[in-house]
Amino acid sequence: MDMSDYTDVFKAESEEHLQQLNESLLGLEQNPADMEYINTMFRSAHTLKGMSATMGFSTIAELTHEMENLMDMVRKCQISVNDALIDILFECLDTLEALVASIENPEEVNITHLQARLKNAMEGTFDAPGSPRSTESEEPRSCDNTTVDTSKEQDLTFELSEEEKASMQYAEQDGYRILAVNVTLDDSCVLKSARSTLVIITISKMGEIIRCEPSENELEDENFELDFTLVFATKETDENIMDKVSKISEVKSVKLISLSKKEENEELLETIEKQEETKVAATTQNESAVKRSDSVKSIQSVRVNIERLDKLMNLVGELTINKIRINQLASDLNAKSLDESLTNLDRLTNEIQNEVMESRMVPINQIFSRFPRMVRDLAKSEGKEINLVIEGKEIELDRTVLDEIGDPLVHLLRNAVDHGIESLEERRALGKPDAGFVKLSAARQRNSILIEVEDDGKGMDPDHLRKVAIKKGIMTQDEVDKLSDADALNIIFIPGFSGAKTVTDVSGRGVGMDAVKNKIEALGGTVKISSVLGQGSSMKLQLPLTVAIIQSLMVTVSNETYAIPLTNVVRDVGIKTSDIKTIEGKEVTMLRGEVLPLLRLHSVLESPHDMEEKENLIVVVVEKMGNNIGFIVDELLGQQEVIIKTLDNKLLKNTKGFAGATILGDGSVALILDIGTLI
Amino acid sequence: MARIMIVDDAAFMRMVIKDILSKNGHEVVAECVDGLDAVQKYPQVNPELVFMDIVMPNMEGIDALKKIMEIDPEAKVVMCSSIGQQSVVTDAIKSGALDFIVKPFDAAKVLEVIGKVM
């Protein structure tokens, strides 16, 4: 059977189970007495075992099997939950994750060390990772597992008790025959006890069992090799019995012995060596016409490749563009008769667009769920206690956005734990609770998602940031002096700045806050920072629900239309030419008592501009890195939803300043400005 | 060929079993995600044979088996077990399961069992 077709499903479902295991293990660590966690973990490990064995991934199957055994012992209160146990299980999960991740290109992963530690855990001795197992065992092992059942020959080598002989006699008087059936199971039989029970049930349907050798209890405990004997009273024919028993799967041979006349006169009636199953072929000969009967379909969801959804989204975009064109044509032609169908078309395209957008939405929990584990490990390695609160994990957002925000969030959380939360000693000295508070929350705000990472740590010191900025040569004394305390916090977003006094293992990976900011802005989002010294910091990310469609402010410059993403736009204002002042050779204006630097969009875009200087100018105020900048544009066309077409072909790939292009209702192309890279 | 109901919480396992069955001319009349689902669907679809996983959330296979045997004492149920579950499988057989298969299983094994119990 070729299993490669199932790889995707296997992988996706395994990942879900691993996630579930991770969550439950974290829960168990918090509440070691809560058995529901262990039960859930047991089920997940068990399901994984079955799945991986079916796929032929023996390493995963072995490891999950041993984890399952360990959890079973915890379930049965044979061993108790402690830190060492939790750590081992976490390590197992990490190993499993690695194994699942690499199933397409399996690497040799040695799990013997982990298995040894699991085994020790089951025996109640815990080792630190890496340390060799202690050779001294505190107390002698009470049970010796080496006792092997030596009773191999059971051709009625056992004695029948007086009681059993008596029942045989009664049965014979009532017209029953007494038979002994000796059954040998296949070497490959895995669940011998269950198989033997099946034989016992089969026999007991045909008669009365008088004796079972080894005893039923021993059979159930698998305390036997491959064969066992049943003595029973029956009225069935030998052929019938042979037929029924030999039909049971995994039965290798059946011997039927008549005990009816005299015990010493054992007569071998029949021996059947079962042939290797040849019936399979017969059962597979199917009649091709399978009747469709009253089947009940239970599939409520299907997995769809993300590429398909992307394509669908793209098509919807094209559809919308065409709709807008038809609308425009109809109004140009003054074709009133089209009004009704156009309204319907409008409604339908909107609905399709919404449905397609919704189908791309996934709960943010898909990435949030990884964080408790990460924060736990991080806190543990730094000797801190962290109380992580997660809110709004049911909030949904576009798959593409979700894929992109994982890394930035990891960075923000690491920062919070690493730099934000003080050491235990410091917290105690400050009278703060031992456990640092870190909150990760998501909320939907109309067409955007707000994600916030908050901590109650030491906060950021604007003066310290100013000093570092000067020391690193990022800013001059003059420049930092101009910054308000709130603005000074934005220094951390400047490339080349790292807030940490010392580079630690976790945060000092060369990815600064500037990378976070760039990533979020590339998605059409914004990052806002606030902090109170001594009380904590908060990072607010505002993200669009989807990256495929954005709300834009449409403007014209030199008769060309441009779209400015609304997330960047602060406001638009009208000013007079006389309002423009010049400071240090740069044009500025005063807006609400603040100096607003002005840029003429046509010169930024280097487009020819032969229009006369008007007296009244339109300024679109945009925000970049916490600073406001005013763009002077020719005309405001208003707000519009635009569908982004990326500029990812070879020719335009490296164009700076544009987030993409969109097609307007009249069929013309408008470029979408990317404020982050434009100026 | 038989009308069969599959009960397994893992979509992966359902898919593997379903493919084996449908490629060999059997009809999968229902797929259930746990024991509770199975007990509800059994009277609706009235399958000729049930493949029942053991460890599942909400209701375990052994309990679902017992409930189904109450609904229909003639029900034909085959347990799908992993290694390490002797006692549950034994219990299941005592409760009326006709046979069991042990993961990992292949198509031949599944078809053999169907041949034997039908």
Do A476 and A562 lie in a common domain? no
Which A-chain residues 8-47 have CB contacts (< 8 A) with chain B? 9-10, 13-14, 40, 42-43, 46-47
Do A339 and A369 lie in a common domain? no
Do A252 and A346 lie in a common domain? no
This model's pTM is above 0.95: no
**Which pLDDT band, with edges at 50, 70 and 90, does A98 fall under?**
confident
Residue A500 lies in a domain: yes
CB-nearest to B94 from A55, A191, A201 is A201
Nearest CA in chain B to A196: B90
> What is the rounded CA–CA span in Å between residue A491 and residue A475?
9
Quick check: B83 and A190 CB within 8 A? Answer: yes
Domain span holding position B22: 3-117
A232: Cα separation from own chain's centroid = 56
- Please calculate the CA angle A74-A368-A520 and round it to the nearest 5 degrees: 160
> What is the rounded CA–CA span in Å between residue A228 and residue A317?
72
Quick check: A191 and B81 CB within 8 A? Answer: yes
Residues of A in contact with B2 (CB under 8 A): none
Do A336 and A356 lie in a common domain? yes
Quick check: B90 and A49 CB within 8 A? Answer: no
Domain span holding position A641: 549-678
Q: Please report, for the domain that includes residue A615, its CATH number.
A: 2.40.50.180
Q: Which of A63-67, A162-166, B27-31, B48-52 has the lowest mean pLDDT?
A: A162-166
Q: Are A497 and A625 in contact (CB under 8 A)?
A: no
Q: Please report, for the domain that includes residue A438, its CATH number.
A: 3.30.565.10
In this prediction, what percent of chain A has a pLDDT beyond 70?
84
Per the annotation, the verdict on A82 as an active-site residue is no
Residue A655 lies in a domain: yes
CB-nearest to A10 from B12, B53, B55 is B12
pLDDT digits (tens, 9 = 90+) for A601-632: 888 888 887 767 778 889 999 987 667 899 99
Mutate to test the interface with B, among A46, A275, A279 (most CBs of B within 10 A): A46
Nearest CA in chain A to B90: A194
Mean pLDDT of A88-93: 90
Please check whether residue A530 touches B, CB under 8 A: no
pLDDT for A555 equals 93
Q: Are strands A669-673 and A560-565 parallel, antiparallel or unpaired?
A: parallel
Mutate to test the interface with A, among B74, B86, B95, B118 (most CBs of A within 10 A): B86
Catalytic residue selected from A23, A29, A66, A68: A68
Other C-beta atoms lying within 10 Å of the C-beta of residue A606? 7
Report the run of H or E that residue B25 belongs to, with start and end.
none
Please check whether residue A282 touches B, CB under 8 A: yes
Do A605 and A669 lie in a common domain? yes
pLDDT digits (tens, 9 = 90+) for A275-305: 433 333 333 444 333 333 444 445 566 777 7
Mutate to test the interface with B, among A14, A190, A220, A274 (most CBs of B within 10 A): A190
Residue A429 lies in a domain: yes
In this prediction, what percent of chain B has a pLDDT beyond 90?
46
Per the annotation, the verdict on A46 as an active-site residue is yes
Please check whether residue A6 touches B, CB under 8 A: yes
Residue A284 lies in a domain: no
Closest by CA to A189, choosing from A229, A226, A157, A220, is A226
CB-nearest to B12 from A9, A42, A294 is A9
In this prediction, what percent of chain A has a pLDDT beyond 90?
7
pLDDT digits (tens, 9 = 90+) for A500-549: 444 443 444 445 788 788 888 778 788 888 999 889 999 999 887 777 77
Residues of B in contact with A276 (CB under 8 A): none
Do A590 and A510 lie in a common domain? no
Contacts of residue A652, Cβ cutoff 8 Å, sequence gap at least 6? none
Quick check: A43 and B56 CB within 8 A? Answer: yes
pLDDT digits (tens, 9 = 90+) for A320-352: 878 878 888 888 888 888 888 888 888 898 888
Report the run of H or E that residue A79 belongs to, with start and end.
none
Distance from CA of A163 to the nearest CA of B (A): 26
Q: Which of A90-104, A469-483, A621-635, A639-653 has the lowest mean pLDDT?
A: A639-653
The yes-or-no verdict on residue A265 having pLDDT over 50 is no
Residues of B in contact with A68 (CB under 8 A): 84
pLDDT digits (tens, 9 = 90+) for A547-605: 777 778 999 998 889 999 887 888 888 888 888 888 888 889 988 888 899 998 888 88
Strands (E), B33-111: 49-53, 77-82, 99-103
Number of domains in chain A: 5
- Final residue of a domain: which of A482, A514, A544? A544
pLDDT for A157 equals 66
Other C-beta atoms lying within 10 Å of the C-beta of residue A534? 13
pLDDT for A277 equals 38
Do A318 and A436 lie in a common domain? no
Residues of A in contact with B7 (CB under 8 A): none
Q: Which residues of B98-107 are buried (b: 16+ CB within 10 A; e: fewer)?
A: bbbbbbbbeb
Do A503 and A650 lie in a common domain? no
Do A486 and A599 lie in a common domain? no
Q: Please report, for the domain that includes residue A319, its CATH number.
A: 1.10.287.560
Write the DSSP symbol of residue A127. Answer: -
The yes-or-no verdict on residue A261 having pLDDT over 70 is no
Quick check: B90 and A283 CB within 8 A? Answer: no
Mutate to test the interface with A, among B1, B42, B82 (most CBs of A within 10 A): B82
Quick check: A51 and B12 CB within 8 A? Answer: yes
A597: Cα separation from own chain's centroid = 45
Residue A174 lies in a domain: yes
Quick check: B15 and A6 CB within 8 A? Answer: yes
Burial (0-12, 13-18, 19+ Cβ within 10 Å), A507: buried
Quick check: A191 and B83 CB within 8 A? Answer: yes
Q: Are A432 and A387 in contact (CB under 8 A)?
A: no
pLDDT digits (tens, 9 = 90+) for A193-216: 888 888 888 888 888 888 888 888
Residue A29 lies in a domain: yes
Do A466 and A516 lie in a common domain? yes
CB-nearest to B89 from A3, A14, A194 is A194
Mean pLDDT of A151-156: 43
Query: ω into residue A565 within 30 of 0, thus cis?
Result: no
The yes-or-no verdict on residue A266 having pLDDT over 70 is no
pLDDT for A613 equals 72
Contacts of residue B58, Cβ cutoff 8 Å, sequence gap at least 6? B34, B35, B36, B37
Mean pLDDT of A660-674: 83
The yes-or-no verdict on residue A35 having pLDDT over 50 is yes
The yes-or-no verdict on residue A405 having pLDDT over 70 is yes
Q: Are A406 and A367 in contact (CB under 8 A)?
A: yes
Quick check: A279 and B114 CB within 8 A? Answer: no
Residue A402 lies in a domain: yes
> What is the rounded CA–CA span in Å between residue A409 and residue A525?
13
Quick check: A1 and B106 CB within 8 A? Answer: yes
pLDDT for A625 equals 65
Q: Tell me, what amino acid is at A404?
A: E
The yes-or-no verdict on residue A634 having pLDDT over 50 is yes
Please check whether residue A269 touches B, CB under 8 A: no
Do A533 and A553 lie in a common domain? no
Contacts of residue A170, Cβ cutoff 8 Å, sequence gap at least 6? none
Contacts of residue B75, Cβ cutoff 8 Å, sequence gap at least 6? B42, B50, B68, B69, B96
Q: Please report, for the domain that includes residue B74, its CATH number.
A: 3.40.50.2300
Please check whether residue A197 touches B, CB under 8 A: yes
Cα separations in angstroms, A64 against A14, A49, A75, B33 = 12, 5, 16, 21
Q: Are A494 and A516 in contact (CB under 8 A)?
A: no
Contacts of residue B29, Cβ cutoff 8 Å, sequence gap at least 6? A293, A295, A296, B3, B4, B5, B45, B47
DSSP string over A321-364: HHHHHHHHHHHHHT-GGGHHHHHHHHHHHHHHHHHHHHHTEEET
Cα separations in angstroms, A260 against A38, A177, A233, A245, A267 = 54, 6, 9, 20, 10
Residue A227 lies in a domain: yes
Quick check: B99 and A293 CB within 8 A? Answer: no
Mutate to test the interface with B, among A37, A58, A280 (most CBs of B within 10 A): A280
Nearest CA in chain B to A204: B94
Q: Which two tokens stand for residue A336?
A: 């009133």
Q: What is the pLDDT of chain A when averaged over all its residues? A: 79
Catalytic residue selected from A13, A15, A46, A382: A46
- Please calculate the CA angle A298-A301-A302 and round it to the nearest 5 degrees: 115
- Contacts A–B by Cβ distance under 8 A: 149
A677 versus A29: which is more confidently predicted? A29
Residues of A in contact with B99 (CB under 8 A): 198, 248-249
Number of domains in chain B: 1
Residues of A in contact with B106 (CB under 8 A): 1
Quick check: B1 and A287 CB within 8 A? Answer: yes
Per the annotation, the verdict on A411 as an active-site residue is no
B29 versus B82: which is more confidently predicted? B29
Do A607 and A640 lie in a common domain? yes
CB-nearest to B25 from A222, A247, A290 is A290
